[in-house]
Chains A and B, each alone.
Chain A
């Protein structure tokens, strides 16, 4: 078990470009979450998946944002037509939800996006 991994760790892009981030959760985890963290703030929930189904999206997730988890394993988060306000750390977390209850979320190291 190597934990949650995210790629890339850093991304610098020009305003108006599209970017895509990848998250690989812990292999047996069926839930995957995306959060966004801006400087000096706590992480804010964006969306989550149970297996391949996207079950909830925050109103923070504008129509320029899309997330997928096609086979219930890794997930991608795409931002189209990036804006400077999108600059933030994007965090992925995973957890196991089973009949006995839910378990803690394990976080990846994050992808830091800078939009110039």
Chain B
């Protein structure tokens, strides 16, 4: 099983600031198989980034993904109030598909 470790657990920032979220895999993942989701309470998770760096349809260009191998990053360039949520990385390189434990971005 590929373990995904996200850091930090919680990121306390203000609107307008830049957020940098990390996701480290226990073994190398093909870049095409790393995705990021945003999750707000009471809602379904929303796909932000797939293939490590491709924004999903309708996702603001404030969100960007990068990385390869075992180290991946989600960057939110200028936080808007609606960006405060939990973010998960996810791999579909190998079964079982796994998620990181999440990073909470809070005000």
- A, B in one complex: no
